[in-house]
Every structure is written in structure tokens, then in C-alpha cells.
Structure 1
Amino acid sequence: MVARTVLPERLGDPAGAFARLVGFRPSPLPYSGPAPACEEFVLLCGLTDAQVNEFLARSREAGCSVGHKALLTKVNRAWPLVRLMDAVAAEHAANS
């Protein structure tokens, strides 16, 4: 498993580019829009259901909790990272 931090200027990149998926490229221009609705965010990519469950269980056991998480999907992999982060934050707010 690899952990990476996205720089603010890369928030406009497609999530698939951040995950280094074939066929996805970073945005040609640096992101200059508003900050995402959440400060911390975990994007899980290329994991089986069992691996996702293990990651979540071990994170809880270690006391490492990040409220905003998403799985990379065929739908959201083309979204800019900031859009994905905002969508997850909005979903959390709606369910609170």
C-alpha cells in the first residue's frame, strides 16, 4: 500500500491521474480554485473488498481516523480530486 499527499496545485487533476491509472493525465494547469470542503481525505485505489476492510479495521485499531474516504471507481476516476473531495464532504454533511 502506498500513501501519497496531493499538493494544492494538483487538486484539479483527475482522480485517475493521481492514482496513476493508465490513460489519465494530470491537468495541464495548476488548480487555483477554492479549497476543498474537507482538509483530510483518503482515496483508496486498486484494493479488493477484503483489503479495504482490513485497512479500515487496522486504521481504527491504530486510532488513525480520517472521516472523509472514497474508493476510486469507474465513475469518479475522471473527476477532479477537488470535486471528489467535495462530494464526499457533502455526503457526510447530509448524513450527519
Structure 2
Amino acid sequence: MVVDIPPNGQIYGLGRVSSALHIYDTNNPPGAVTRYEITIVNVISQSRQIAPGHTDTFQPAGNAVYIQNNGPSKLQALYVGAAVSPEDAGWVKEAAMPALGV
């Protein structure tokens, strides 16, 4: 799952996250270092700074996650919400790989 987190100072609850959680600075809009707050219940509560194009990784271990983006850029949270099959994700089965140049 990929969740866009706008730089609006709003606190968002992502729910319980069992997989690794990656927070990525999109550098959109372009700017300096982005500041955010993250709380993983029973794990951490931190103020963080992340450079454009960089990623912070956390291990929530099934605990609830809260994040607040104070800007200037949009962040993305990447994690596995629930495992799904390729078909459930909307992927289509193909008979063969395409030839190069097609």
C-alpha cells in the first residue's frame, strides 16, 4: 500500500502495521528537508527530518502508527496492508513474456 501524506500538519492514523514501514520524501513540492512526527505505539515517538528523495524505515511489529507531516514536501508511506493475490490486485495472467521491441 502506498499512502500520500500531504504537508498539512494533520495527524493521520495508519492503523496497525505488521510489515516494514517506509517513509519516503517525494520532494514535491521541491524544497528543503521535510519534517515529520511519527509515533508507533509501544515502539517510538520521534520528530524526524528527511532529505528529498530519501527513505526512513521502521518496524512497527503490528503496532498502531500515527504520522504528521509538517512539510514542506509530500511524504509517502509504503507498507503491506494486507497480502493480496496478483488477480485481486487487478493483474492479468499472460501466456508468455513479450518479445523485445514489442
Q: Give the TM interval when normalised to the shorter protein.
A: under 0.3
Which structure has more strand as a fraction of its residues? Answer: 2
Which structure has more helix as a fraction of its residues? Answer: 1
TM-score when normalising by structure 1: 0.22
TM-score when normalising by structure 2: 0.21
Higher RCO by CA contacts (8 Å cutoff, separation 6 or greater): 2
